[in-house]
Amino acid sequence: MRIACILLGALVPAWLAGCTAAPDPGSLDFDPLEESNRVAHANNKQIDKAIFQPVARTYGKIPAPMRKGVTNLRYNWKLPGQAIQSVLQMRGPQTAETVTRFMINTSLGLGGLLDPAAEMGLPYRETNFDETFEVWGVPEGGYLELPIGGPGTQRDWTGWALDILLDPVYLVAPATATNALFGIGTLDIVNDRYEIDPVLDELLYNSADSYTAQRISYLQNMRARLQGGTDVGQLEDVYADY
Amino acid sequence: MPTTDPITRPGRRALLAGLGSAALLGLLPRPAAADAASQAQGLVMAISADLTKLVNSGRSEAQLYRDFEGLLARYADMPAVAAATLGPAWRGASAGQRQAYVAAFQSYLARKYGRQFGEYRNASISVAGARDAGRAGVLVQTVVVRPGQENIAVDWQISDRSGRARAVNLIIEGVSLLANERAEIGAMLDAQGGSVDRLTAELRARS
């Protein structure tokens, strides 16, 4: 084992080769990229305070139904790519639901501005490469906070890039349509920031260690989202040491 | 006369029947577990009703935090939760230090989460189910529905190990309060040079 570690150590970081007593990759403390992440985190907080937070709060003054329309449009045009993800995840019924939802909202929903499909029992359910990777058993990799981008893992950010590069709508639609979609997408990201403002504000600006607070919140939330809820086996016995 | 009674005619069929019932016993919740699950659900419904009333009560912030702290003390096992967030330092603390820490932690928690109450006006909480988590207790799953906003999945970890069913953790969209507060309290304790007394003072200053 030791010789293998020395050999491997020349090729890959020690934590990858499993040679150090580093925390288990599935744990909340696994953080091989912490040093560079903390630099990005400090910068991201300043950018958020100066730009994203005030812009989001201003955008939040727009009436909710109008913001909802923007969200509906963005969600609708993500559906073709998500139908492909459902296929890659080998989830037949979900693929059919996604295609049906797209057809209903693109026609009856005026190109996706409205969301009649949700009332017919076909609510939006986001799925991207991050979930496909989870289904395929690709490891998460390290937690990775990107400058401007914010929290993620190596796997999630890889998925994010592939989602953009391989989005069928962007490959097929004319430039005027994709430019409009890009604008809508940007507005809706601002809306996402607005929707989580109270929680994010507490996390980023009231925590004793906002980097760790954001990392463990992100990792737990991502795992529950991709694995379909809280894992009962992960619950801790509060009375174990009490 | 042929009989299928496994006692009078032991054999292959009896063996299968025996295995079958053993499997059934293993699969079905034991009466005690089922009892704990329904008790836990009842507790969560009671907490939800009180929380909904409090959030929509229109009280002043100071009153809101005080009342919320009262609910925490009543429905959650705060000494156990506080101990779990303090970790190894709990074992080294004196009885007096522990008591002071639990009280300060409870007020800090009430204020921290009470600040978010404005987001939950007109929200309703519905119980979606319960799952047995063995020694960890019972996980009661609820959905918080807010008009015009996305639903929030809130899971309640309930344990009766203190002698009666009480909440020991809250998991909001997968994020465990206990895990987050353990990291947060750990960071504060480090900043206070590992002193539980100074940590307690810091928590009081934040609440």
- What average pLDDT does the structure give for chain A? 91
Closest to A128 in 3D by CA, of A166, A71, A93: A166
Chain B's closest residue to A213, CA to CA, is B180
Q: Which of B106, B99, B121 is nearest to B65 (CA)?
A: B106
CB contact under 8 A, B157 and A235: yes
Q: How far does the CA of residue B140 sit from the closest CA of chain A (Å)? A: 10
User: Interface pTM (ipTM) of the complex?
Assistant: 0.85
Residues B33 and B50: their CA atoms lie apart, in Å, by 26
Residues of A in contact with B83 (CB under 8 A): 241-242
The answer to whether B144 contacts chain A (CB < 8 Å) is no
| DSSP 8-state secondary structure symbol assigned to residue A12 | S
Residue contact B118–A198, C-beta within 8 A: yes
pLDDT score at B18:
52
Q: Is B116 on the interface with A (CB under 8 A)?
A: yes
| Inter-chain residue contact B141 with A213, CB threshold 8 Å | no
Q: Please enumerate in sequence order all residues whose Cβ is within 8 A of that of A225, keeping only pairs 6 or more positions apart, or say none.
A: B173, B174
The answer to whether B109 contacts chain A (CB < 8 Å) is no
Q: Could you tell me if B168 lies within 8 Å of chain A, comparing CB atoms? A: yes
Instruction: Please judge whether A241 and B169 are an interchain contact, meaning their C-beta atoms are less than 8 angstroms apart.
Output: no
The percent of residues above 70 in pLDDT, for chain B, comes to 84
Is pLDDT of A19 > 50? no
A5 or B172, higher pLDDT? B172
> What pLDDT is attached to residue B13?
52
**Cβ of B151 under 8 Å from any chain A Cβ?**
no
Does B169 contact A223 at a Cβ distance shorter than 8 Å? no
Residue B126: predicted pLDDT: 94
Contacts of A236 in chain B (CB under 8 A): 84, 136, 169, 178
Q: What is the pTM of this model?
A: 0.85
Cβ of residue B179 closer than 8 Å to a chain A Cβ: yes
What residues of chain A lie within 8 A of the CB of B80, using their CB?
A: 238-239, 242
Burial class (CB in 10 A: 0-12, 13-18, 19+), B131: middle
What pLDDT, on the 0 to 100 scale, is given for residue A14? 45
Q: Do residue A213 and residue B183 have CB atoms under 8 angstroms apart? A: yes
Q: Are the beta carbons of B20 and B34 closer than 8 angstroms?
A: no
Residue B146 burial (C-beta neighbours within 10 Å; 0-12, 13-18, 19+): middle
Q: How far apart are CA A230 and CA A221, in angstroms?
A: 9
- The CA distances from residue A29 to A149, A160, B178, in Å, are 21, 23, 15
A26-30, B27-31, B182-186: lowest mean pLDDT where? B27-31
Confidence category of residue A84, pLDDT binned at 50, 70, 90: very high
- pLDDT tens profile A130-188: 999 999 999 999 999 999 999 999 999 999 999 999 999 999 999 999 999 999 999 99
Cβ neighbours of A238 in B, within 8 Å: 77, 80-81, 84, 136-137, 157, 159, 161, 168-169, 178
What digits encode the pLDDT tens for the residues A24-38?
A: 888 899 999 999 999
Q: What is the mean pLDDT of residues B113-141?
A: 92
Cα B125 to Cα A107: distance, rounded to the nearest angstrom: 34
Alpha-carbon torsion B30, B32, B33, B38, what sign?
positive
Residue A25 confidence (pLDDT):
85
Asked whether residue A15 carries a pLDDT value surpassing 90, the answer given is no
CB within 8 Å: B84 and A241:
yes
Cα gap B196→B86, rounded to integer Å: 9
Residue B36's pLDDT is what? 86
Whether the Cβ atoms of residue B154 and residue B113 lie closer than 8 Å to each other: no
